[in-house]
Amino acid sequence: MTITNGYKQNENEKELDILNLPALEQEAQKIIPTGGFGYIAGGSEDEWTLHANRTAFQHKQIVPKALSDIEDPQTDTRVFNLDLKTPIMMAPAAAQGLAHVKGEIDTAAGVAAAGGLMAQSTYSSTSIADTAEAGNGAPQFFQLYMSKDWNFNESLLDEAKKAGVKGIILTVDATVDGYREADIINHFQFPIPMANLTKFSEGDGKGKGIGEIYASAAQKIGPKDVARIIQYTDLPVIVKGIESAEDALYAIGAGAAGIYVSNHGGRQLNGGPASFDVLTDVASAVNHRVPIIFDSGVRRGSDVFKALAAGADLVAIGRPAIYGLALGGAQGVTSVFNHLNDELKIIMQLAGTKTIEDVKHAPLLDIKY
């Protein structure tokens, strides 16, 4: 165990024997310090939306296809011109040094080993270059929290491009931090530096509360920013934090190469809908113009299946992967991805769908209760 600024960082590196992803949370809670765990696990206000993210999946059911004459379902897929072994990707998530001493470096390695797509967060504990290198050639996206300081933005984008990322995820649902009570109760301040912030005047994030970090972030984000980033990077820009058909079209109009349906895992706008509840409408409006990434509440193979069937092209997980990171480092992350992908394969076989394309065309049943 490493102690950084008084915070105990785990150093586990091992394969995990996973029963299911929800069960990881309490295991992780035992080894992640209270403040860090509260930051990772918590949602905003009374966590209604956080909770709804899970229950929403219960209201659409998988209609199995009997006598479908298939075996050995395959989870590989091609999205954003990337060949991936699984439609499950890593959501961009801040400050993974809270879970493990190697932070995003281990996450990137673990995701790469599982054949998934990694997304780095602006607020990573490790640097863009280091995290990219850990990916060992596997594709990565870089997520941008836009700063008020455009020089800072450009510097990050330069570094990301130099590191070879395949796309930029622009987060637009966090222009101020959600009201997260766990952080307030724990008087939480980031004990671990955020690598991308250390070279800039904003400081390194260490010893700051989440509110202070956000203070230097841009609140005003509009279509012109999307256009500007596209122009600057010449990379596909995916707009993250879309929760309505209207906004999806607006973002595509602004040049978005992908739509990321998410409510930030229930950490931002509490009182907004569960992400899964709006996915069908968004997908219907997007109508295959660009790919759709989905996150918020995914814990089961059946959740991944339902999200794909409801219109997602990629399905991201955040907290469960971070718990895997805490418990087993890179190998733990791989274990989490492999477990979820295995659950998905079982569902695919039982539902009578051989490929991810088949899943995307599978019907769902609306359940009234």
Closest approach, Cβ 349 to a copy of itself, in A, equals 4
Non-local (6+) Cβ contacts of 147 within 8 A are 153, 202, 216, 217, 218
Among 306, 323, 341, 353, binds a copy of itself (CB under 8 A): 306
List the x/- string, 43-82, binding to a copy of itself by CB under 8 A. Answer: --xx-x------x-xxx-xxxxxxxxxxxx----------
Candidates 103-111, 115-123, 139-147, 300-308 — which segment interacts with a copy of itself by CB under 8 A? Answer: 300-308
Q: Quick check: 241 binds a copy of itself (CB under 8 A)?
A: yes
Q: DSSP for 215-268, please give it.
A: HTB-S---HHHHHHHHHHH-S-EEEEEE-SHHHHHHHHHTT-SEEEE--GGGTS
Under 8 Å between Cβ of 286 and 292: yes
354 a known binding residue? Answer: no
Candidates 76-84, 175-183, 285-293, 311-319 — which segment interacts with a copy of itself by CB under 8 A? Answer: 175-183
Q: Quick check: 273 binds a copy of itself (CB under 8 A)?
A: yes
264 given a catalytic annotation: yes
Site for a copy of itself in 219-238 (CB under 8 A): 219-226
The Cα 140–Cα 318 span in angstroms is: 15
Judged by DSSP in three states, 196 sits in helix
295 a known binding residue? Answer: yes
234 a known binding residue? Answer: no
The Cα 295–Cα 114 span in angstroms is: 18
Active-site residue among 51, 100, 264, 361?
Answer: 264
**Structure token pair of residue 266:** 């229930």
Binding site listing for FMN: 92-94, 121, 143, 171, 240, 262, 295-299, 318-319
Binding site listing for glyoxylate: 39, 145, 180, 264, 267
